[in-house]
Chain A
Amino acid sequence: MPQPTRPTRRRPVARPNLWQITSVTVALVLALPVLVIFGHVFLPTGDVWQHLRETMLGEYVTNSLLLLFGVGVGVLVIGVPVAWLVSVCEFPGRRIFQWALMLPLAMPAYIIAYTYTGMLDFTGPVQVLIRDLTGLGYGQYWFPEIRSLTGAMLMLTLVLYPYVYLLTRAAFLEQSVCVLEVSRTLGSGPYAGFFRVALPLARPAVIAGLTLALMEVLADYGTVAYFGIATFTTGIFRTWYGLADPAAAAQLAAVLLSFVFVLILLERWSRMRARFHHTSSRYSNLPRYRLRGWKATAAVGACLLPILFGFLIPAVQLSIWAAQTTDQWVNPAFAQLVFNTFYLAALAAVIAVALALVLAYARRMQGGFITGLAVRVAGLGYAVPGTVIAIGVMLPFAWFDNALDAFMRAQFGISTGLLLSGTLAALLFAYAVRFLAVSLQTVEAGLGKIKPSMDDAARSLGMRPLGTLTRVHLPIMRGTLLTALLLVFVDVLKELPATLILRPFDFNTLAVRAFELAGDERLAESSSAALAIVLVGLLPVILLSLTIERSRPGQRQRMQNRGEPRQNEPLAVPAGTQTA
């Protein structure tokens, strides 16, 4: 039976092996952009800080904290219960809900913000209808202001809850059913089974999803800027562009990073050193609670609402706009945009997940301090506004290119020009840095659930580390890996700031196109690009979701034994059960 165990201390390896060298190098290179930003802390900045303290800093901090709190509560309240419902309950539409709940993930936050504003603000169709029906004018009736802090919380919650949902659901699916069955034999009802067994066991996954959502909140610029809310992110840009003080802006970003770093440390500390491994190698189908009557209705409602508001309504509005502006997308250039976006996102997803796997596995084998720290630092890239990270990428690349060029000119009289800057390689590197947190959190959560005794067993049977990874771990965590791929893929689809500043000549993505038009306040024209992002994101969401469900350990055997009554499956109390 799984329970918190302390990690078995393995003897440190005397000489550094290939895994160690690779992982340290990869981690340090990926941490470079974030370190570049931290490096600005030592630059002098005049009196900008005093000015900020006297004026806007308080508002930046307060608003950012409120936004974090609101979205944090929101994504938990939506994400965890629906993950539980579709994982262990049976009710009408469950099979559709389990993938449809991921759909809002494909909606860029600023797009949903623009769309709802277009519908709900004073000049939108909803309020116009109210005025037409009642004959009232402005200020004579109450209507919630969409462009407000609460509005921003709602918008961000609607598109970010899928992080919590996805990771939590993966955790529920990978949980050994024995735990739940044992808890039932010990007298737990469904609620106690959820609150006292399943939820605590899924905690690392829930926290991982929450962390991702909150980091994305901190990095968000489009939504808060459009709603006119002064947060840390808008403050960074205001300081950089408006006050023309890039150093102070980088320092603000460094403060933001430190804040996130402390949060992550606190969370890890609160878990102490407990780990949540699954000890059973026997899985059987989850015995679902069949919901009937009002409970089934409530479950359907709980799953339907986030999909309705996070996806269906904005998607319909975007489709209406796209139908009005066919000249924007019925042309070959638009197909090129779709292609660019898709293949860039796919490539970036594979790279980010491969790197995460290397880092996570190396840390699992021997948790080196340098690798650990570098990985944490690199992971911070997710909480920084993309533009800031992009500058962190551009600086070392441009330095390398120009230094090499200067050296070659001086030594050989030839110029190498810019080799890396302004290429897709630089852009892919930026994606890897920015989304490492996503792939790493997911991969680590999956890897952490595999008990170290599995490694020991594989190694004692003569497998090398790589073999253990590919033949033992990867098959077990296939669902986790696909989840990680999906998350990075969709994130890159939506990514705007780093793409905008780092991309090569004549290379555009859907997000760039949507931004250019929406930024010029041409919402209808931008809708086709926004909609295409959603559609390109949809296909893998659906495909992967089906695969994730099928990839549940033990699922294949069960399918082979299909038809046998479930009662015949033994209530396994696995041999591996042990306490530290």
Chain B
Amino acid sequence: MFRHSLKVFAIAVVGAALGLPAVVHADGEVNLYSARQENLIKPLLDDFTRDTGITVRLLTGRADELLQRLRLEGRNSPADVLITVDAGNLHQAKEAGVLSVIESDVLDQRVPESFRDEDGQWYGLSLRARPILYNKDKVDPAELSTYEALTDPNWRGRICIRSSSNVYNQSMVSAMIASEGSEAASQWVEGLVANLARPPQGGDRDQISAAAAGVCDIAIANTYYLGAMLAGDDATQREAAEKLGVFFPNQEDRGTHVNISGAGVTAHAPNRGNAVRLIEFLTSEEAQRWYAEANQEYPVRPDVPASEVLQAFGDFKMDSLNLSLLGEHNAEAVRIMDRARWR
């Protein structure tokens, strides 16, 4: 009680000093640190508040920085829930000891085992794949088979991919290390870099546009970027995206690389019960449909359909690798990419 009132007092003093209205906490609240940006989470949170009466306080930011803040704030951190958009970050959070076991039958039932932490410290919320996108005018999909096959000299100067500083590429190489070993991953990265059409630059949408415009013949990019370009208002982007076909590689063996966005409850969550309720809400059918439609992600629940745009890409076999391994191999992946001069 005292802690609470003292805090309110401190906030009131600081607030008054800064000319801000003091924030008085409602009883039912939950505090969220989210690496998913405001636009792509706020509507869901508003729905949650409307359904439950629980106020959600939101802080968005980059995953590594939110994690750093959580660690420094320690047991006094106000955060209840951490949401990230990469499994590697969730694994790091778990390793840092800032998450706790959730224990929810609802979540266990809804989220398939491969998309949640084995100890129940985090659960996936949505999925994205990182397939090969090819320019339909220039590439016959019969030429494509696996990620590994992209190192063939036949592809010299024909591939676009963004910088290796991006976590999606780091996770993709981590997955390669986990399933094929460092040596093979290293060779793959070197072969891929040798075949790039240009030095890595821009984001995933830029790679898609470049492939459509003929800078390169294929691009490696996340499905939701292509989906968002196809479903968006921007005519130029839509035309570019329509020039590309989606090829899901490695269907004969381990499957196409996928990653998740997911959530965990913090170790010192002041509002534990509400935190679990929020994550359960985010896996509800209503919320899962929203991910699918608004952000073109694959729902983590097998019983909720993907958007029509994504369904048009076709069904595919996902890499069933334990996603915790992505975090474990991340540093090694970056070293391999450093050595191969993948900028």
Question: In the bound complex, how far is the Cα of B202 from the Cα of A394, in angstroms?
Answer: 31
How many angstroms from the CA of A237 to the CA of B63 in the assembled complex?
Answer: 13
Flag whether A138 is at the interface (Cβ < 8 A): yes
**Is B31 in contact with A505, judged by CB distance below 8 angstroms?**
yes
Residues on B with beta carbons closer than 8 Å to the beta carbon of A512: 60
Contacts of B333 in A (CB 8 A): 242
CB proximity of B44 to chain A, nearest CB, Å: 16
Q: Which of A236-261 touch B at CB < 8 Å?
A: 237-238, 240-246
Residue contact A506 to B338, C-beta cutoff 8 Å: no
- Beta-carbon contacts of B20-41 to A below 8 Å, as 1s and 0s? 1000000000010000011110
B163 touches A123 (CB 8 A): no
A25 to chain B, nearest CB (A): 20
Known: A423-B11, A521-B225. A241 touches B167 (CB 8 A): yes
- Range of interface residues on A (Cβ < 8 Å): 35 or more
For A56, the chain B residues whose CB sits under 8 A away are: 338
User: Could you mark each residue 393-405 of chain A with 1 if its beta carbon is under 8 Å from any beta carbon of chain B, else 0?
Assistant: 0110010011001
Chain A residues within an 8 Å CB radius of B339: 54-55
Q: Nearest chain B CB to A387's CB is how many angstroms away?
A: 6
Residues of B within 8 A of A505 (CB): 31, 57-59, 78
What residues of chain B lie closer than 8 Å to A55, measured between beta carbons?
335, 338-339, 341
A94 within 8 A of partner (CB): no
A508 to B58, CA, bound (A): 10
Docked-complex contact B76 and A417, CB < 8 angstroms: yes
Give the interface SS of chain B, mostly helix, strand, loop or mixed.
helix
What's the tally of chain B residues with a CB closer than 8 Å to chain A?
67
Residues of A within 8 A of B78 (CB): 417-418, 422, 505
With a CB–CB cut-off of 8 A, which chain B residues contact A237?
A: 165
Q: A508 to B61: give the CA distance in the assembly, Å.
A: 11
Q: Does A336 interact with chain B (Cβ within 8 Å)? A: no
Give A31 to B335 CA distance when docked, in angstroms.
34
Q: Say whether B74 faces chain A, with CB atoms less than 8 Å apart.
A: yes
**Given contacts A500-B61, A506-B57, A520-B37, are A424 and B31 in contact (CB under 8 A)?**
no
A504 and B22 CA atoms in complex are apart in Å by 13
B203: interface (CB < 8 Å)? yes
Residue of A nearest to B71 (CB): A398
Kindly provide the distance from the CB of A8 to the nearest chain B CB, expressed in whole angstroms.
41
- Which residues of chain B come closer than 8 Å to A234, judged between CB atoms? 165
Alpha-carbon separation in the docked complex, A464 to B91 (Å): 61
**Would you give the 0/1 interface string for B56-97, flagging 1 where the beta carbon is closer than 8 Å to chain A?**
011111101110110011111110000000000000100000
Known: A55-B338, A423-B11. A402 touches B331 (CB 8 A): no
A474 to B166, CA, bound (A): 49
Q: Are B76 and A418 in contact (CB under 8 A)?
A: yes
Q: Give B1-27 interface residues, CB cut-off 8 Å to A.
A: 2-3, 6-7, 10-11, 14, 18-20
* Residues B331 and A516 in contact, CB atoms below 8 Å apart: no
Q: Which of B92, B203, B213, B333 has the most CB of A within 10 A?
A: B213
CA distance A357 to B65 in the complex (A): 33
Q: Chain B interface (Cβ within 8 Å of chain A)?
A: 2-3, 6-7, 10-11, 14, 18-20, 31, 37-40, 57-62, 64-66, 68-69, 72-78, 92, 162-163, 165, 167, 170, 199-206, 209-210, 212-215, 225, 233-234, 236, 240, 330-331, 333-335, 338-339, 341, 343
A contacts, CB < 8 Å to B: 51-52, 54-56, 117, 121-123, 137-138, 147, 225-230, 234, 237-238, 240-246, 324, 343, 347, 387, 390-391, 394-395, 398, 401-402, 405, 414-419, 421-425, 428, 500-501, 503-506, 508, 512-513, 516-517, 519-521, 524-525
- Across the A-B interface, give the 3 residue pairs with the lowest CB-CB distance, nearest first: A228-B201, A242-B334, A505-B57
Q: Please, could you name 7 A-B residue pairs with CB atoms under 8 Å apart, sorted by A?
A: A55-B339, A122-B209, A147-B201, A242-B165, A324-B233, A423-B14, A520-B39
